[in-house]
Amino acid sequence: MKPTIKIFPETKFIGKNLSFTYTDYRAFELWSSFMPRRNEIRNAIGKDLFNIQINPENFDFNPQTEFVKWAVVPVSDFDFLPEGMQSLIVEEGLYAVFNHIGDASKARETFGYIFGFWLPNSEYELDNRPQFEILGEKYKNNAPDSEEEIWIPIKKRI
């Protein structure tokens, strides 16, 4: 599984967020509250959904460390913000993009490869910016042939 290296442009998003840990993983709760309301976002660009994770600085993958997860869609502007939703801007940056195929149970294997093998053996290191998955037209939730893009923020090793 070899990534492509891409620059992600600055992008505006609207959606919902929730803070939790890997021990108390509440992504289902977050997405369950967002999906019924996603069509209230009038200025959405395209149909892709983004699952964004913002880690604290020097995130160590400790299961007790809290991070913020966002369920969002890209938007053209922040002129209309539905009640109970928040805005987010992801700055432009360099990313390693991996194509994940499989249901959610295989995600642990994919992330294990990314952080346990690819990243330590690459010319890059993790950058302190949001990481995210793009859930596009090939995303089928828990289907074994579901596909999504995993975007990992990177920078050249010094």
Question: What pLDDT, on a 0 to 100 scale, did the predictor assign at position 143?
Answer: 81
Mean pLDDT of the chain: 92
**pTM for this structure?**
0.91
Nearest to 100 by CA among 53, 156, 62, 152: 152
Q: Sign of dihedral through CA atoms 43, 49, 7, 85?
A: positive
Give the span between the Cα atoms of 58 and 18, in whole angstroms: 20
Report the SS3 class of residue 11: strand
Q: Which residues of the chain have pLDDT under 70?
A: none
In the chain, where the domains are located:
4-156
Give the span between the Cα atoms of 75 and 99, in whole angstroms: 24
Question: What pLDDT, on a 0 to 100 scale, did the predictor assign at position 150?
Answer: 95
Cα 156–Cα 96–Cα 74 angle in degrees, nearest 5 = 120
According to CATH, the superfamily of the domain at 4-156 is Regulatory factor, effector binding domain (3.20.80.10)
